[in-house]
Every structure is written in C-alpha cells, then in structure tokens.
Amino acid sequence: MNVLFIDWPCFAKADAVFTLEQMGYRLTMFSHKDYQAVISPDFNQAFDETAHNCLFQFCFSFNFYPLVAEGCKRHNIPYIALVYDSPFVLLYSYTIIYPTNCVFLFDKQEYLKMQDMGIKTVHYMPLPVNAAIIDFLAAKDFDRQRCTCDISFVGALYNEAHNFYERLHDINDYTKGYLDAIMEAQLKIYGYNFLEEVLTENILQEMQRVAPYSNDKYGVETPQYIYANYFLGRKITSMERIRLLTAIGKRFPNRLKLFTLNKDTQIPHVRNMGATDYYSEMPYVFANSKINLNITLKSIQSGIPLRAMDIMGAGGFLLTNFQADFLDYFVPDEDFVYYNDPDDLLNKIEYYLSHDKERKEIAENGHRKVKDNHSYEKCFQEMLRTENI
C-alpha cells in the first residue's frame, strides 16, 4: 500500500510518517519549492513523474494545496488534507471542489461556512496529538530549570515590524479610528468573531487603497476575509496576548515564562525564554508547567488550537480562552479550564496555583482523553473511513 506524502517543514510530520508506516503503508516523500503556488509547470512535471512511477492508494498533506489537488485529480488519486493553520486562504481555491479531495478542518465554524457555500469535500475533525510521546520523553534528560515554571505561554506575539497590519500605516484618520474601535470591541468578545461582518464598503475601499488585495481569479476568498483574518485578526491577537501576559506579570511577578520566536520582546516581570523546539523541548515545557496558557489566534473561530491539544497530550494543565469546539470532546473543569475575561483569567491562575490536587487531576483527565480519542492512528483511521479507503 503506497502513499504519496507531501513533504514540507510542518509540525507533526514525524508523528504522521511514523503512524502511517506503523499502519503498513509505504511512503513516497514528495517535496517541491512551489508547493504553495497556484501555478507552477515545474511542480506539475515533478508531480506527474512521481505519480507515473507508482500506484498510490492516496496522497496526504498537512494543509491543503491547489497544485497537489490538481495533480491528484489528473491521476485520480484520493487527496487527504489535514488543515491545522488558520487563517488558510488556499482553502478558498477553486480546486477545493475536486471530487478527489477529502479535506479535514479543525474549526467547526469554518467547516460549516464552507458547507453553506455548497462545498462537500470538507469535513470536521479535531487535530490529533501524540499523547504517548511524553511517556517516552520522561525517561530522557532535559533542562529542568528552563522547562519548569508556574505559568507558561508558548506562541507567537505577532509583534514583528513586518506584520500585515503595519502595511495600513497610511490609512485616513476615520478608517484608523474605525479599525481601532472594532478591534477593541472584538477583544472583549470570546467565542464569536464579527470582524468580516463590520468591514463596510467605504472602510474596505480605504484599506484596498493602502494595501491592495486581489484573489487573481484563482479562488473565491473575499477582501473582507483577507483583511479581517490576516490584517486585523493577527493584530488583535498580538494586542490580547501582550495585554494578558503583562497583567499576569504584574500580578504574579517572575512566575510566567514566555516561549516565543521574538526573543527581544520584553514584558515586565515575564521571563522571555526565546523559541522552543516542537519535538525536543516543547512537551517538557507543557508537562512541567503548573499552568499552561492558550490564547487563541482570533481567526480560529471555534476550533481547538494545536497548542491546546499538545498541552493536554503532554499531560499539562490547560487554561484557555473559550472555544466552542472544546465542548464537543471535553468537559470544562474536568479535562481543562477556560476563562471568560482577563479578570477571570487572573483569578483562575491564582486558584489553580494553590490547588495542586485539583489541577493535577484535571491535567490527568485531559491527557487520558486525548490519548484515548485523538491519537494519530485514530485520526488516520477516521480520515480513511471517510474517504472509503
């Protein structure tokens, strides 16, 4: 049984490769520099040469790529894509409707939106996690001083100078005031993203003037989708994460460790530890933090982020903002804990730092559920059943 595996530097590639091989599949790893493009004769030629050399039962990739969908359609190869990024504009490619596609989304609201558009090749599934890895890693040496803390946050702050929002520096005063107002309003709302709805025509025209966007007729994504998710959503996430981490540093000085790519970011009374490697160190951080924070990227409407699944997979205690999809699979205050607003976050940190037994029981429950129900093997089994493979 042969599988064509689209090879790019993605999270969890090693887990997926290991699982498929354990399931008895022989993998052909296919990589090409143009994998994210919408047009590439070079990619098409390389893909066709690979497809002609072997009979593949299916093709798999993390995230969805139009050129791969085109190639699979040409060769009648079922294409299974597991999307873990959000936003992900390539989902709105016209190629998404090809009958050879079977695309899995972790955000139920995004899935329902595409279903309402008549797209039947998409399905809803929470992201898998390798919950057994922590048992393997626990027997190995690691930097306990670096990875052990009371509170941790692992993730980007989206405060680099090259972010999309910074391209809007020349918008007029009215538009700037309007965008500032809707971002502040969205910051106060958990569980519902309204940004696309409130980008009016005159606001869009001004944003288009300063930072033009066109889908080049290869997809159906709207300017509202791009500006709401890539420009405003990431800016709001940056604002929220920095504000919350600042508040935590003030109330719990020097008890929060931040693991982020931007090692130069300074937040008072917060220790910036720089980046952490996904496989070799991050599980230790999650397992050895009393409280692991998840502050979801605003473009993820209802889905459970990969970070949250990885925290529970490592046996860590998860304290997160509310995301509706948690309730499909987990029980609040039994498997994880969510906060309603900044004050609630601070109060719950204080509570769970002083209630060790309760905190550890919740972490153990969450770990057991992801290990039993959301392994890579079960994920692939479900995807293959959906595709009738």
- Identify which has the larger pLDDT, 190 or 167: 167
- Collapsing DSSP to helix, strand or coil, 24 comes out as coil
CA distance 340 to 328: 18
- Identify which has the larger pLDDT, 215 or 253: 253
CA distance 20 to 25: 6
- Evaluate whether 176 touches 206 at the Cβ level (below 8 Å): no
Q: What is the pLDDT of residues 293-349, one digit of tens each?
A: 999 999 999 999 999 999 999 999 999 999 999 999 999 999 999 999 999 999 999
Mean local confidence (pLDDT), 107-127: 96
Q: Which residues pair with 124 in a beta bridge?
A: 105
Token pair recorded at residue 321: 């903002």
Half-sphere exposure of 254 (CA within 13 A, CB side): 0
- pLDDT surpasses 90 at 144: yes
Helix H or strand E segment including 256? strand 256-259
| Confidence band, pLDDT 50/70/90 cuts, at residue 156 | very high
DSSP letter at 127 equals P
- pLDDT surpasses 70 at 73: yes
pTM comes to 0.95
Q: What is the pLDDT of residues 345-364, one digit of tens each?
A: 999 999 999 999 999 999 99
Mean local confidence (pLDDT), 79-91: 96
| Confidence band, pLDDT 50/70/90 cuts, at residue 289 | very high
Q: What percent of the chain has pLDDT over 90?
A: 89
Specify the pLDDT at position 161.
65
Helix H or strand E segment including 295? none
- pLDDT surpasses 80 at 135: no
Mean local confidence (pLDDT), 203-210: 96
CA dihedral 227, 232, 238, 240 (to 10 degrees): -150
Mean local confidence (pLDDT), 17-21: 96
Mean local confidence (pLDDT), 253-266: 95
Handedness of CA 66, 211, 206, 203 (dihedral sign): positive
- pLDDT surpasses 80 at 162: no
Mean local confidence (pLDDT), 81-90: 95
- Tell me whether the omega of the peptide bond preceding residue 87 falls within 30 degrees of 0, making it cis: yes
Token pair recorded at residue 13: 């590639």
Mean local confidence (pLDDT), 228-236: 96
Indicate left, alpha or beta for 52 from its phi (over 0: left) and psi (-120 to 50: alpha). Answer: alpha
**133-373 sits in which CATH class?**
alpha beta
- Collapsing DSSP to helix, strand or coil, 314 comes out as coil
DSSP letter at 128 equals P
Q: Cite the DSSP H helix spans in 60-107.
A: 66-75
Mean local confidence (pLDDT), 61-65: 98
Mean local confidence (pLDDT), 260-288: 94
Q: Among 155-159, 190-194, 241-245, 333-337, whose mean pLDDT is lowest?
A: 190-194
Cα 85 to the center of its chain, rounded Å: 4
Q: Among 208-222, 264-278, 303-317, whose mean pLDDT is lowest?
A: 208-222
Neighbours of 209 (CB within 10 A): 12
CA distance 189 to 328: 21
CB neighbour list of residue 172: distance below 8 Å, 6 or more residues apart? 206
Q: Which residues pair with 82 in a beta bridge?
A: 62, 104
CA distance 275 to 321: 23
Specify the pLDDT at position 266.
95
CATH 3.40.50.2000 occupies which residues in the chain?
2-128+376-386, 133-373
| Confidence band, pLDDT 50/70/90 cuts, at residue 216 | confident
CA distance 6 to 20: 13
- Nearest alpha-carbon partner for 80 in 388, 383, 385, 389: 383
CB neighbour list of residue 339: distance below 8 Å, 6 or more residues apart? 319, 320, 321, 322, 345, 348
CATH of 2-128+376-386, one of 3.20.20.150, 2.40.40.20, 3.20.20.370, 3.40.50.2000: 3.40.50.2000
DSSP letter at 317 equals -
- Which string of b and e fits 7-41 if b means at least 16 CB within 10 Å? beebbbbebbbebbeeeebebbebebeebeebebe
CA distance 218 to 39: 9
- Identify which has the larger pLDDT, 139 or 45: 45
The single residue listed with the structure tokens 């593949």 is: 56
Cα 171 to the center of its chain, rounded Å: 30
Token pair recorded at residue 287: 């397992």
- pLDDT surpasses 80 at 160: no
CA distance 335 to 318: 8
Torsions phi, psi for 320 (to 5 deg): -135, 160
